[in-house]
Structure 1
């Protein structure tokens, strides 16, 4: 009999979190005998639980998801529990970290709060018993919520960024945390409002392993690409060049390096001729993503973006002049956004599209774990929708902004059901100036 079976509810939409957990696990020495099973559907997860229970002392089903997926996956976890009782279902990721009680009430048995690598290793050492393992929340026999405290926060290079043993690869996380602490983003509030960077030699180790296995494309996960190596708001181009040069050398002449494109972006004020020349010199992407978010200076200030509207225009002009295709992230329906400010965002979108940029449109979602968690959902009036559709029809705008309107409404309803003490709309600065 094996001590522990870990069943990963493995979805293509969310794989990175599992890959880094497996990367940490494969190096970890433990007395616990365990197996890892990948379940790519609800039915395969149900079958895996049924198969594992007779031969394992404990079975854990691990879940990772973002807030917009929480409601649908809650239905799934409860269906699996009804069809195959006996396993312990553990939810991780940004939603579980931000809303552990809501997660437990939705049907999961345990919520992992914070960074998952040290928590999983301690949980494996404990044979899957959550009692006393830091970084967890669960209910005891009386129904009271037990919180086991914060997990240890370690340097980013402590654990591998993907798994060799299970052959699960992904973009390499080079920075965790973010000093900017934008009010709509969960990253700085889950990982702290400071940067932790993976050292260049550690990134190179990952690139070398990729090349050995025939992988040829190197991409990066970072909240702000040009902040690599920096401790503050100033870009460190020397550190960026050292990183990119090493990665280009490591992946070899047949490989490709992508930087400042999906799944990362460049802040507008960090776009400079020097920065773009580094991308051109070492990388293969002909496009970059610029995070703009709004065409209203007041909304940008309220969101604590740390840059202005003019810097957005300047970034797009520079990028186009240097021969890049520019994708600009914009969020419509931000908290407290007036009709005039919404029109300013739409006007900026048109202006940037005329320069040759493509607008990646989003609808504001009040995400758990952010200062704007209790804000009303993003709303786009019919006239705005018509204008956005026109941009889309000419190929100048793309994104899932319409679907995000529905997600935003569900998140707002969930937030009302789980109010945070001591929060008010006044504190959130939701109302536009009079």
Structure 2
């Protein structure tokens, strides 16, 4: 490892979860601690085994983060790693561990990190890897007794950097955490709470300036709903959005680009107005937008607590196309309680929007842990709908991994039976070394 260490942090580093790891590394690189630690990026099961073996007798935490659909496959990988390289403590964070901590322990992890993980990780490092007394954790003690240490600490979003400078691993800037739209199928509001916390414009600009210094050209954002930036409620604050976008465009410079309302975020349909889209056109480089529709059935939208109607979706697509954007529309088939009439309504809306020039990003309902619909049956899509969706895909009007999601949904339902939970819980554990600059981002205290 190159120097004497008290603690080795092995990140089970997978492409699907790099943003969460980067956030934790960013918190750790600013944190003064007496613990001498090393960080290892393990991009495969074998690399994880090798890192544990190389650590020798040094206390080792293997940090995992994963979504619910990945939990079963990673539990199998975990068993392989523990058999080949015993002695490490395996800590699971992310949305699944937050929603199902006991199930996560039963699947083989030693500790589940519940709630927001920045402070939890810092405390773990300070303790040399000992979980005793650290809030935000669930584990079993030496007698097998289940220990819950209480709620994880929540801080204003700008308290910690959005990405680490030490490793120069950039990612989209998280500008909003939490969501006031408590959709019954979504883990976000139940993981971070159903309210918005925004990173300030000054704090975001600090990150953009660092990106430009490091030669990065593209600025993207992580947010559950792009046009909710700066607001506490359901009405967009376009002045706040413009301040954000103008500052980012200035900061990234004439050779850089800003992307807003496209991957990895989206725009709610009722927020799509001519004024809003012209702001995006003025400051941003993206020619496409993602709109969350989810269903073409008024009844299903109301049951899901989406907070908008079908006509809002139609209007959003028309406005977006009229303003020159390519529109991608998220839709979920097989929602709980969906009957043939609801499925037909969704299919007709998808066909109507495709005829206007939109592309449909199709999903199948998955009963995600931690959501009000976690006990609902997996999405059941009838054969005729499947044929119609397939025809849209063949025409290039529809895309997505909906077939694979049907398999994931079935596995999630089976896991809920195999590992019944006694109650519910709450995100994110998993990471570094020292910062490379003395300047700090403005903090949102």
What TM-score, normalized to structure 1? 0.96
Residue 9 (structure 1) aligns with: 12
Kept after mapping to 2: 8 A contact 1:374/1:416: no
Partner deviation per Cα, 1:197-244 (whole Å, 9 max, x = no partner): 000000000000000000000000000000000000000100000000
Partner deviation per Cα, 1:231-284 (whole Å, 9 max, x = no partner): 000001000000000000000000000000000000000000000000000000
Partner deviation per Cα, 1:331-361 (whole Å, 9 max, x = no partner): 0000000001000000000000000000000
Q: Taking structure 1 as reference, are residues 422 and 111 closer, same or farther at Cα in structure 2, changes over 3 Å only?
A: closer
Within 2, Cα distance between the matches of 1:211 and 1:49?
A: 36
Within 1, Cα distance between the matches of 2:127 and 2:78?
A: 24
In the alignment, structure 1 segments of 5+ residues that lack a partner are: 424-434
Within 2, Cα distance between the matches of 1:245 and 1:309?
A: 32
Within 2, Cα distance between the matches of 1:421 and 1:63?
A: 23
Within 2, Cα distance between the matches of 1:73 and 1:53?
A: 24
Find the residue that maps to 1:379 and give its secondary structure: coil
Kept after mapping to 2: 8 A contact 1:53/1:86: no
5 Å-filtered alignment, 1:105-120, equals 105-120=106-121
Matched, 1:382 2:387: no
Matched, 1:18 2:21: yes
Say how many residue pairs are matched.
421
**C-alpha RMSD of matched pairs (Å):** 1.0
Within 2, Cα distance between the matches of 1:80 and 1:179?
A: 40
Find the residue that maps to 1:17 and give its secondary structure: helix
Residue 53 (structure 1) aligns with: 56
Find the residue that maps to 1:6 and give its secondary structure: strand
5 Å-filtered alignment, 1:14-413, equals 14-54=17-57, 56=58, 58-413=59-414
Find the residue that maps to 1:15 and give its secondary structure: helix
Within 2, Cα distance between the matches of 1:154 and 1:272?
A: 33
Comparing 409-418 with 88-97, greater Cα deviation is found at 409-418
Within 1, Cα distance between the matches of 2:12 and 2:304?
A: 34
Partner deviation per Cα, 1:355-409 (whole Å, 9 max, x = no partner): 0000000000000010000000001111111000000000000000000000000
In the alignment, structure 2 segments of 5+ residues that lack a partner are: 425-445
Q: Taking structure 1 as reference, are residues 53 and 113 closer, same or farther at Cα in structure 2, changes over 3 Å only?
A: same
Alpha-carbon deviation of 1:168?
Answer: 1.3
Find the residue that maps to 2:90 and give its secondary structure: strand
Alpha-carbon deviation of 1:100?
Answer: 0.2
Within 1, Cα distance between the matches of 2:388 and 2:160?
A: 47
Alpha-carbon deviation of 1:418?
Answer: 3.8
Alpha-carbon deviation of 1:421?
Answer: 6.1
Within 2, Cα distance between the matches of 1:14 and 1:159?
A: 18
Kept after mapping to 2: 8 A contact 1:288/1:324: yes
Find the residue that maps to 2:330 and give its secondary structure: strand
Within 2, Cα distance between the matches of 1:132 and 1:168?
A: 32
Kept after mapping to 1: 8 A contact 2:103/2:420: no
Runs of 4+ aligned residues of structure 1 deviating over 4 Å after TM superposition are 420-423
Partner deviation per Cα, 1:141-189 (whole Å, 9 max, x = no partner): 1212111111111000000000101111100000000001000000000
Within 2, Cα distance between the matches of 1:418 and 1:40?
A: 28
Find the residue that maps to 2:9 and give its secondary structure: strand
What TM-score, normalized to structure 2? 0.94
Find the residue that maps to 2:22 and give its secondary structure: helix
